C-alpha cells in the first residue's frame, strides 16, 4: 500500500509543451465505486494496471492507493467487459519544473478540451513553486476526479 499525496490544477495555456520530456496514452475505466473506494483498470502505454483508491477526506490531498500491474490484454478485456461508463481517454505528459515532475493530462473524447496538471508530493505540507502555465487549483473539487469525469464528462458541463 502507498499513500498518494497530490495536488491538481487546471492548465491555463500550452507553455508547458516546450518542456515536456515524454508522453503516453491512457485509457481507463471504473468497475466499482463506493463511498470508501474506487476501483479502476487502466492501460498506460504498453502496460495494464488495476488500482484501488480510497476516498479523499473532505479537503484532503492524500489517500491510500493499491496498484497492480496486469497484462495489457487483460486490461483491455476488463475495460471492454466491466467499465461502468465509457472509458476515459487522455495523453499524459511528464513536465519537469523546479525539482518536481508534473503530469499534464490532455483529455480526449467526451472530456476533450480539459487539460489538468498534477504534482505528487512527499508530504501534505511540502511547498512547491507553481509553473506559470498553472491555473486554478481543483484538488478539492470532486468534478475533476477521473471517476467523476467518467460519469459526468467535461463536454457536458455548462461552461458559462
Domain encompassing residue 81: 2-156
State the distance between the two ends of the chain, measured CA to CA, in whole angstroms: 41
User: Number of structural domains, the chain?
Assistant: 1
**pLDDT score of 60:** 66
CA-CA distance, 82 to 48, in Å (whole number)? 15
Q: Grid coordinates representing 136?
A: 486554478
Task: Tell me if the pTM is above 0.85.
Answer: yes
pLDDT at 59: 57
CB neighbour list of residue 84: distance below 8 Å, 6 or more residues apart: 29, 30, 31, 32, 33, 150
Q: Is 49 a catalytic site residue?
A: no
CATH number of 40's domain? 2.40.320.10
Q: What is the pLDDT along the chain (160 residues), one digit of tens a residue?
A: 688 889 999 999 999 999 999 999 999 999 998 988 999 999 999 999 999 998 876 556 778 999 999 999 999 999 999 999 999 999 999 999 999 999 999 999 999 999 999 999 988 889 999 999 999 999 999 999 999 999 999 999 986 5
Amino acid at each position: 500500500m502507498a499513500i498518494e499525496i497530490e495536488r491538481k490544477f487546471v492548465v491555463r495555456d500550452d507553455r508547458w509543451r516546450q518542456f515536456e520530456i515524454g508522453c503516453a496514452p491512457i485509457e481507463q475505466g471504473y468497475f466499482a465505486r463506493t463511498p470508501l473506494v474506487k476501483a479502476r483498470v487502466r492501460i498506460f502505454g504498453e502496460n495494464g494496471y488495476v488500482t484501488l483508491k480510497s476516498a479523499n477526506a473532505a479537503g484532503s490531498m492524500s489517500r491510500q492507493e493499491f496498484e497492480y500491474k496486469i497484462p495489457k490484454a487483460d486490461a483491455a478485456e476488463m475495460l471492454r467487459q466491466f467499465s461502468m461508463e465509457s472509458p476515459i481517454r487522455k495523453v499524459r505528459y511528464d513536465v519537469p519544473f523546479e525539482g518536481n515532475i508534473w503530469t499534464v493530462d490532455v483529455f480526449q473524447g467526451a472530456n476533450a478540451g480539459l487539460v489538468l496538471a498534477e504534482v505528487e508530493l512527499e508530504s501534505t505540507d511540502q511547498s512547491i513553486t507553481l509553473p506559470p502555465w498553472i491555473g486554478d487549483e481543483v484538488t478539492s473539487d470532486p468534478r475533476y476526479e477521473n471517476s467523476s469525469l467518467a460519469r459526468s464528462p467535461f463536454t457536458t458541463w455548462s461552461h458559462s
